[in-house]
A and B are shown apart, each in its own frame.
Chain A
């Protein structure tokens, strides 16, 4: 993965881009639906727990938990462009290897020994040696993606490694076996 980062950002949001930072997480357990509460002084919103009462479109609010982290873009380039570039974007959270307490975990991640973890080399002033955690793939609203800062783009080789990792993790099918007759 030594050559996975491009020297300059690609012109548009692309598969393999590193974004900083985005709220990533999931619904908190136990599930807690929220409804908009009274407006506070100064215009701040408040939210109260309530029975699930979505809007007319079926979408409602609920309590989530997660982190504000860097993410790597997983969506394929032409999917990113569809719907006038307003569609959701699949991402995986990125964490520093230094957060891992266990030497075995660090070793497995940095040496790319497990399918769910893609090691990402450090970028001076941006991230230390890190890994993308494919177990926590999620989609992010485009508005939030656009609000995040694009830090780096991946080289073609880096994107290839990313795709191979996704295939291995999701399918457990050996990439090299996916061939067709000439």
Chain B
């Protein structure tokens, strides 16, 4: 977490936190995994992972940092990778994510003087 400056956003695609806009059916894919058809998807997933990894490796050297020309992923897509079996964080992911986060300005500070009391 101390090498945020080495951020390479292209690799985010592997983790699914952020990726190009791609509408995915939230409900359908969730049921697939929960109803046990996961094993039948494994060969496809393995091939997909290999293809994605290879593509990212080829693209990374030519990708300029900080270019914002894709949309943000919605929660429907953030769930896909882990649901389909990518269970570990790619190498260098936290550094890249940290760099991304530190590279953007924060949301404006807010006035909390009228916040509700803590209820619990």
Contacts and interface: CB of A to CB of B under 8 A. Distances in A.
Interface of B: 9-10, 12-13, 17-20, 26-27, 30-31, 33-34, 63-72, 74-76, 78-79, 82-83, 100-101, 104-107, 110, 112, 114-116, 118-120
A178 to B, nearest CB: 6
B115 A108 contact: yes
Interface of A is mostly: mixed
Given A108-B115, A163-B78, A172-B106, 12 more contacts: A12-B34, A15-B75, A78-B33, A78-B83, A95-B119, A133-B118, A156-B75, A173-B106, A175-B72, A180-B10, A180-B13, A180-B20
For chain A, the bracket of interface size reads 35 or more
A114 interface: yes
10 contacts: A24-B120, A104-B114, A115-B107, A131-B116, A133-B118, A159-B75, A160-B75, A163-B75, A173-B107, A181-B70
Nearest to B12: A180
Contacts of A113: 110
Nearest to B110: A114
A160 to B, nearest CB: 5
A179 B30 contact: no
Nearest to B65: A181
Contacts of A162: 75
A177 B116 contact: no
For the complex of A and B, the 9 pairs showing the least CB-CB separation, nearest first, are A104-B114, A181-B67, A177-B104, A163-B75, A180-B9, A179-B68, A172-B106, A66-B120, A160-B74
A26 B120 contact: yes
Interface of A: 10-12, 14-15, 24-26, 66-67, 69, 76-79, 81, 93, 95, 99-100, 102, 104-105, 107-109, 113-117, 131, 133, 135-136, 156, 159-160, 162-163, 168, 171-182
Nearest to A177: B104
Contacts of B110: 113-115
B9 A181 contact: yes
Given A114-B112, A116-B115, A171 B101 contact: yes
A176 to B, nearest CB: 6
Contact of A160 (B19, B63, B66, B76): B76
Contacts of B76: 156, 159-160
